[in-house]
Structure 1
Amino acid sequence: MKSTLFHEIITFTLSSYSYIRSCIGKSQYIAVGNGGYFTSSLDGETWSEPVQTHKNNRIDWLNIEYANEMFLISGENQTGHYISYSKDGANWSEPVTDSGNGRMVFGNNLWIICDSYCIYVWNRDFTHKEQVEPSYDNARVDYYDVAFGNGRFVLVSSCANDGDIFTSTDGLNWKRLFTEISCQCITFDRKQFVAGGGGGRIWTFTDGENWTEHRALPSNFLPSKIKYGNGNYIIMGTLNRYWFVNQFVAISKDGINWTDLEKVTDESINDFCFITE
């Protein structure tokens, strides 16, 4: 681990690692990544030997979330897009296909999972799902990320290189906000939404409709994930000159003022999440 900043972050999150309380009463971290692997740690520094979540189905897990006392992971392989869930971070459900490979959130007793051109809406126990295309003009839309707060879902997407924002209370009926805001990631901190986009832009808002823009990060920074936990925001992404080669992270206490970006090396980072108790 060569990144000092990332080593500091690791005390409460480690890329795809999530803090859980296991069935044996110990606190631990869980990580998932490419090749279907997961590993665990009690301190965020010493890690167990990686083990595949599903021995007979090699899937690159790209995203992880914890809510409703459950881990949810999403990813893909050459045959499709999958999700899997677990109560303890060790025993996982059989992968469910055609369920999205993108970012997800839990709210109003629903799981919302993003996919390339649609979203999937699952009930809390994964016994029923709906496939939804929030766009109202039949255009192909990339649904990037979704957050839940103040009683509503907020979905950020891109349509023909323009940004689109959608809001919903039930996950099925969406209101499209015609804005020029183009975001790649979004989170909620119990008070406000914070979204990140190209050009080093950060947006803050409470209702999904009235946004405040902040020029907070380098103009060549393209974020991919933003999360909130333990009183900190963490944003992760790439710089243009290192496109999809190196990941960079920064942290913030308020979502507006950020530390300098620092490159993370010797780690394959797909996602990170927190448990808020």
Structure 2
Amino acid sequence: MESALNWVNENSDMLIEYAIQIALAFVVLLVGIRVAKLCGKLTEKAFNSRRVDKAVGSFVSSIVYAIVLAATVLMALSQVGIETTSFIAILGAAGLAVGLALQGSLSNFASGVLIILLRPFKSGDYIEAGGQSGTVTKIEIFSTELRTPDNKVIIMPNSSVMSDAIVNYSREKTRRIDLVIGVGYEANLKEAKQVLSSILDADVRVLKDPGYTVAVLELADSSVNFAVRPWVNTVDYWPTYFELVEKIKLALDEANISIPFPQMDIHLHKDK
């Protein structure tokens, strides 16, 4: 115990110097983290003020945050006397090994860059990708965030988004509603077609150009199926879809045109 106290007394100046360096490094690290967060927020705010896509702003702000944070760590290490040049070389060698172990993360980063460059979708678009669907809210360095219509948040790896087909439901201004309406074989087809056409003509949301289609699609097992295909603005797609289904059912009932359901006729023969 006495020898330890003697060593402390003999090296007190050195210990105080190291303590000050460690304290300064800790302060640099804390301040650097705050500065990194601030830089990320300012970058995102700058992109938003220029009316750049929010997804691009969040992606770039994430990169800025990571760069500033890495510089802060190097400054903190330099403050405690660690030679950063050799440390960077060590990090490079270690980074290669870590990169091989984290191929998935690097793939996510590369996919995130491709999303920003190719722009298959933007913030606010409703998409289907990687077996999931929802409205794009953020594109981060490694992941893309979707929000479903029932307000669930889906965080998908960027590699999953880019690995398969992407369906963007919001890119075009117009969409076509595809309905298949079946009527009974005993129904008057001209009358049924007239009823369906009159419903589309009366709906102001149905576009005149391109025009809608009402045509016999197929002679199915239990019904004659009509293809009803009106064009609407993308924002009106689901409200128009739901209302058309209801209006068609009510109009066909009023015209005494049956909508059959699958059925099977069974004929019994009695052997004499």
Bucket of the pairwise TM-score, normalised by the shorter protein? under 0.3
TM-score for the superposition, normalised by structure 1: 0.21
Taking structure 2 as the reference length, the TM-score comes to 0.21
